Amino acid sequence: MTEASFVSVEKVGGACVARVMCPTVGQREAPIIEQELLAAGPGHGWRVAIDMSGVGMLTSVGIGTLVTVNKKCREGKGRMALFGLNDTIMDVLKLTRLDKLFPIARDR
């Protein structure tokens, strides 16, 4: 998979919806995804919704990416939300209590 295909960003209303398009968000993918999300944020008022429906595994580095993007969105007076998480990733976010930090929806 090429780097350019890790994230697909579309404008929806005043926000961006970023679809993560790799099955694993690990050490290699996370920095690329983070860079793409941080590049998209300012143009959409830091209102970012991340579609995780294509992600089967999220490593600790991937979780760190979500924390960083969320922090930047808040600093920019915007907001980040997640949707489309599988049960395993949702369980990890609940165990780490990050489900309290990120707004999470089942689907778009």
For the stretch 62-95, pLDDT in tens is: 999 999 999 999 999 999 999 999 999 999 999 9
Closest CA to 72 of 52, 46, 100: 46
- Bridge partners of 81? 49
Q: What is the mean pLDDT of residues 94-108?
A: 93
DSSP class of residue 44?
Answer: G
What is the sign, positive or negative, of the torsion defined by CA atoms of 107, 12, 76, 33? positive
The per-residue pLDDT for range 7-33, each reduced to its tens digit, is: 999 999 999 999 999 999 999 999 999
Asked if 51 contacts 20 with a C-beta cutoff of 8 angstroms, the reply is yes
Domains along the sequence of the chain with CATH: 3-105 (3.30.750.24)
